[in-house]
Amino acid sequence: MYSFNELALKFNEYFDKRHFPESPQNLYDPAQYILQIGGKRVRPVCVLMGNELFDEIDPDAYHVATAIELFHNFSLIHDDIMDKAPLRRGVQTVHSKYGESTALLAGDVMMVQAYDSLNQIKPLHLQTILYHFNKSAKEVCEGQQLDMDFEQRSNVSMEEYVNMVTLKTSVLLAGSMQVGAILGGAGEGNQQHLYNFGKNLGIAFQVQDDYLDAFGDPEKFGKQLGGDILSNKKTFLLIQALDIATATQKNELELLLSSSPEDKVGRVLQIFRDCKIDQWATELKERYFHDALQNLDDVAVLSSRKKELRELAEYLLQRES
């Protein structure tokens, strides 16, 4: 069994090449640009790990992993346009460097390239893999739309937020593991257990991300502390605070959300601390992490084969950046 880092190296060796023609340069260079930015590439490596949990890695896993990574970057290009984000992983986003119209086309052609990669897998699994890929892709789009819808609403329930996070963040991680398991010959029960492992891990990951934005070390986190607070973003922390705050605290919080005083971040964080939101978020993350590990335990393979996935889960949730 390979570790995540070992499989990441193998995938990068396979993936780090030019995926597009040279011409027209103004279309394909922007598409290649975002791929060169890199990233942890957790999702494609999870395809390989899901496969290896049950059997030796099928060469088709690399085609599927490539499609997953291309789709993920397609979604990032479009998300950055919608969010008007100037930076991605510390460098210019595609639309800020090349313009919005070109970025839209670059994302579109990347999605087409993802299907070209899927089309290279053997017929035995093609229809099933396509079904799960399309299901995850549609759900990611649904999650992004819900996230944008929430920006226009003053009240979002915790249940609604968890559903949005599941769609926008978790299903692609979960689906990556499931399609890998399919290539490894896993039965439907084991596929579902592994999917649930990825889903709960993805939710725990988002709890950690929301927590770090408010309470992380800015030097380690690599972003401006309180960015979500400044943009009034609905997060696990804000939704919980609005739900349990006293009337006085809630009034102050709502006033801060409707204005932008210079000390906004500090005042909101103080309310979070007074409501013990930091402690609550840590406990919530641990709850989803525990559920994820239980899902992994339920997979009917030798415990020793699950070691690398367990270590990946711990790594993702112990991060400070």
**Rounded Cα distance, 64 and 179, in Å:** 8
Tell me the pLDDT tens digit for each residue of 124-148.
Answer: 999 999 999 999 999 999 999 999 9
Report which residue type is found at 105.
Answer: L
Per-residue confidence (pLDDT) for residue 224, from 0 to 100: 59
Residue 116, both tokens: 């070209």
Does position 287 have pLDDT exceeding 60, yes or no? yes
Mean pLDDT of the chain: 94
Per-residue confidence (pLDDT) for residue 219, from 0 to 100: 64
Does position 21 have pLDDT exceeding 60, yes or no? yes
Per-residue confidence (pLDDT) for residue 49, from 0 to 100: 98
Residue 188, both tokens: 């439907």
Report which residue type is found at 69.
Answer: E
Does position 74 have pLDDT exceeding 60, yes or no? yes
Per-residue confidence (pLDDT) for residue 267, from 0 to 100: 97
Instruction: List domains and CATH numbers for the chain.
Output: 1-137 (1.10.600.10), 187-321 (1.10.600.10)
Per-residue confidence (pLDDT) for residue 152, from 0 to 100: 87
What pLDDT band is residue 223 in, cutting at 50, 70 and 90?
low
Per-residue confidence (pLDDT) for residue 321, from 0 to 100: 53
Per-residue confidence (pLDDT) for residue 280, from 0 to 100: 98
What pLDDT band is residue 84 in, cutting at 50, 70 and 90?
confident
HEC string of the chain equals CCCHHHHHHHHHHHHCCCCCCCCCHHHHHHHHHHHHHCCCCHHHHHHHHHHHCCCCCCCHHHHHHHHHHHHHHHHHHHHHHHHCCCEECCEECHHHHHCHHHHHHHHHHHHHHHHHHHCCCCHHHHHHHHHHHHHHHHHHHHHHHHHHHHHCCCCCCHHHHHHHHHHHHHHHHHHHHHHHHHHCCCCHHHHHHHHHHHHHHHHHHHHHHHHHHHHCCHHHHCCCCCHHHHCCCCCHHHHHHHHHCCHHHHHHHHHHHCCCCCCHHHHHHHHHHHCCHHHHHHHHHHHHHHHHHHHHHHCCCCHHHHHHHHHHHHHHHCCCC
Q: What is the pTM of this model?
A: 0.93
Per-residue confidence (pLDDT) for residue 231, from 0 to 100: 85
